[in-house]
Amino acid sequence: MNIMLVCSAGMSTSMLVTKMQESAQAKGIEATIWAIPEASLQAEVDKSDVILLGPQVRFLKSKIEAVAAPKGIPVEVIDMMNYGAMNGEAVLQQALNMKK
């Protein structure tokens, strides 16, 4: 599964990526998880199965859906509490639920 996180610059979200990767590994889930700044969306969108947005860029959801929806890629905003707590397990589960 390919999980792309979109944020403003990619810095804080990269810490969450690490936590999600650790959780996936512990559960035996094969996943590629990476973070990009919004400006890189066009170049990266085709590589993803699901797209998660950092709470700080939730205002971009409709713009990103316009690019992702025609490709069948679901887009959701990461829960602010899980993002703030860097809860990689919960955010990984959110991504897995999106793919079902």
Enzyme catalytic residues: 7
Lookup: tokens for 89: 């397990």
**CA gyration radius for the chain?**
12
Alpha helices in 1-100 (DSSP H): 11-27, 41-44, 61-68, 80-84, 88-99
Query: Which positions ≥6 away from 15 have C-beta within 8 Å?
Result: 86
